[in-house]
Every structure is written in C-alpha cells, then in structure tokens.
Amino acid sequence: MESMTGYAFLEKRTDQFSYSVSIKSLNSRYLEIYTNIPKILKEEEVNIEAILKNRFERGKVELNIDVFDWVEARAVNLDRMLIGKYYMELRNIEKELGLVNSFNLGTLLSMDGVSHRERTHLSDKSRTEIYKSLDMVIEKTHKMRVKEGVAIKKDLLKSLGIINKNLAEIKKITVDNASKIYERLKKNIEAIAESRVDDQRLYTEVALLADKLDTNEEKVRLDDHLKKFRSVLEEQGQLGKQLDFLAQEMFREINTIASKSNNSRISHLVVDMKNQIDKIREHCRNII
C-alpha cells in the first residue's frame, strides 16, 4: 500500500552549475503532473514529464528544478557598430550644448543593446547528472509514500478492529431479534385490544413487520464487507478507490442497523462505528 503524500529534495553540483531537484506529491483523484524547471532545461520538459507519468500512478506530483551558482562564465559580445553610433550621437549633443568630455566608455557600455551574453548550453555531463538526480528524488519520494502507507494501513486495521468489536456486541444484543420483536408487537396489540386477538392475518402482518425490523441481513453484509476490506489491504496496485467504495457500503449497513434498532446501547455503538468509517474514508482518499 502506498500513500499519495510524499516529499524528497536533493542538491548537487555539475561542472557548469549547482542545482536542486525536489518533488512534492499530494492526494488527487487522478494523476496530475506539474513541473517548474529553468529555461536551460525547457527542451527536456516533455521527456521529464513522461518519466514522472511513468513512475507515478496517482496523485498531484509537483517537480521543481532550480539552477544556481554558475561556475562556467558566459562570453560577452559587444556590438561595436552600435557603440560607434551612440558615440557619434553623444559627441553631437556635446557640441550642441557646449560640453566637453561629458561621457566615458562606461556610459557607452551601459547603453541599451550594446552588450549581451551568449546563451549557455547544457552539457551532456550536466544533463546526465540531472536525470540521475531526478531518478534518485523519485525513489526517495516513493519510499516516503510507502512509509506513509504502512502508517495508514495500521490506522485502518485499528478502525476495522473497533467496528468488528462493536458489531460483535450488536450481534449479542440482537440474538433472536425477529422473534423478540414479534412477541413485543403481539403483546402490544393484545394489550390495546384488552384480549387475545384471533385474527391470523393480523399476526401474519405483525410477523412481516418484525422481519423488516430485523437487522440480521445487514449484520451479515457488514461482516462480509469487513472481511473484503482486510483482503484488499493485502493486495497491490491502486487500492484507494476500491477501499473507499467498501467503506461507503459499510456505512450504509451501519446506518440501516441504526434506523432499525430501538436500543440505546446499539445507538452508542453505531455512533462509534460511524466515526471509524469517517476516519477510514479520510485515509482512503490518500491511498493510491
């Protein structure tokens, strides 16, 4: 089992620059990939996204690559023709205003468009190092997600244990529930009639009503859902949606038991069971 929550960070240096790679993953209904990479890596963006899509099955995955502390100095080119034009224009202005030596070389070099640095190209060695680092960060993120998944599984089993325990107590309370309900309804009717009622049809209706108020089927189905949930926990792959569906089914059975029961103890047990289902569903939303 793997959680969708994870984080990993790595900082290294190449012969060109220092860089950092980080991945943060969060829960999501689908796989969402977001990348924030520098211009020097823009040509690699499609390939990087393909790697992430191949390595992650589900979740919101955010990749950030930062490049800094350049070691390699970029060459500077000067536009001599443009410098000459600026020079002539400034000299003409000096003559018109009667100025002498009002500017220097620094003034010319600061003019717009005079100088520009050559674009830096990513070396093969730097490219290889970055891809190696990306692979390492992906592995570290998966390890964290697996670790988180182990903790989630532990909490899920704890909640299942509480639900199972409460269900066992409800079973004890509701032993022969249908016959008990039948006898209670029969006595109530006879008390209202102030004598024994001989109408067989009336007793048949009472028996049907008692059967409708019985929770045996719900208890059996809830038991089956609990067993299925434990079985799915041991499987591999994307389990979150399947577990969440089973949790919904368990909630439905618990809710029906609550609506059919007229017992304060069962009501308290059901409230506790519903709280555990809420915890389970919250965890399921964070499982791949």
Q: 109 and 180, same structural domain?
A: no
Q: 280 and 159, same structural domain?
A: yes
Closest of 239, 244, 252, 255 to residue 279, by C-alpha: 244
CA distances from 232 to 33, 146, 160, 226, 227 (A): 27, 16, 13, 10, 9
The strand order across the sheet containing 31-36 reads 6-13, 18-26, 59-68, 31-36
Number of domains in the chain: 3
Q: 248 and 232, same structural domain?
A: yes
Q: 268 and 159, same structural domain?
A: yes
CATH code of the domain in which 16 resides: 3.30.230
pLDDT on residue 62? 98
pLDDT on residue 73? 62
- Residue 129, in any domain of the structure: yes
Q: Which domain holds residue 95?
A: 76-117
User: Cα(169)–Cα(268) distance, rounded to whole angstroms?
Assistant: 11
Q: 197 and 136, same structural domain?
A: no
Q: 136 and 213, same structural domain?
A: no
Q: What is the pLDDT along the chain (288 residues), one digit of tens a residue?
A: 899 999 999 999 998 999 999 999 999 999 999 999 999 999 999 999 999 999 999 999 999 999 998 876 666 788 889 888 988 998 898 888 888 888 888 888 888 888 877 667 889 999 999 999 999 999 999 999 999 999 999 999 999 999 999 999 999 888 765 566 666 666 766 666 665 555 565 556 555 555 566 788 899 999 999 999 999 999 988 999 999 999 999 999 999 999 888 788 999 999 999 999 999 999 999 999
Q: 276 and 193, same structural domain?
A: yes
Q: 107 and 60, same structural domain?
A: no
- Residue 1, in any domain of the structure: no
- Residue 172, in any domain of the structure: yes
- Residue 243, in any domain of the structure: yes
pLDDT on residue 152? 97
- Residue 207, in any domain of the structure: yes
